[in-house]
Homo-oligomer: A and B are copies of this chain.
Amino acid sequence: MDRILEQNLLYDFYGELLTEHQQRVYEDAVYNDMSLSEIAGEQGISRQGVHDLIKRCDKILQDYESKLHLVERFMAAKEKIGEIEQLTAEDTTDPEERMRRIRELSRSLLKEW
C-alpha cells in the first residue's frame, strides 16, 4: 500500500489515541502535506524534532494495528462491499445469478463480524 495512504488510514482509525500535540504535527505532515521545516517553524520545534515525532507516531499507529487489525478487517469488508456494488451495476449477467452472488457476499460479511 502507498505510504501516505497507509498513514492516512491508520490515523483515521487510531489517531484519537495520539496526544493533541502529536495529532497536530501528524496532521500537518500527512493530511496538509506540509514540509518538516514548515511544521518546525509553526510548532516551534526543530526540524529533527518534527521528523522524530512523525516516526514515533507512525510506530504507535502501526503497533495499534498490529494488535487490533481493524484497518485490515475494514479493508477486507470494503472489498466485498465493492464487489456487491459492482454486481448491482453489471448488466451482462443474469439478475438471479447476481442476486445469489450478492447474498453470498453479504452473508459472509455478516458471519465475519
Which residues of A are in contact with B by a Cβ distance under 8 Å? Answer: 13-14, 16-17, 64, 67-68, 70, 74, 77-78, 81-82, 84-85, 88-89, 95-96, 98-100, 102-103, 106-107, 109-110, 113
Alpha-carbon distance between A14 and B17 when the two chains are bound, in angstroms: 13
Contact A17 B68 (CB under 8 A): yes
Name the one of B67, B85, B100 contacting A16, with C-beta atoms under 8 angstroms: B67
Q: Contacts A85-B110, A95-B95, A113-B74 given: A67-B103 contact, CB under 8 Å?
A: no
The smallest C-beta distance from A63 to any residue of chain B, in angstroms, reads 10
Q: Which 9 A-B pairs have the closest CB atoms?
A: A88-B103, A85-B106, A16-B67, A84-B106, A81-B109, A88-B99, A88-B102, A81-B106, A95-B95
How many copies altogether? 2
Contact B70 A13 (CB under 8 A): yes
Chain B neighbourhood of A70, CB < 8 A:
13, 70
Chain B neighbourhood of A102, CB < 8 A:
84, 88, 102
The smallest C-beta distance from A74 to any residue of chain B, in angstroms, reads 6
Chain B residue with the shortest CB-CB distance to A17? B67
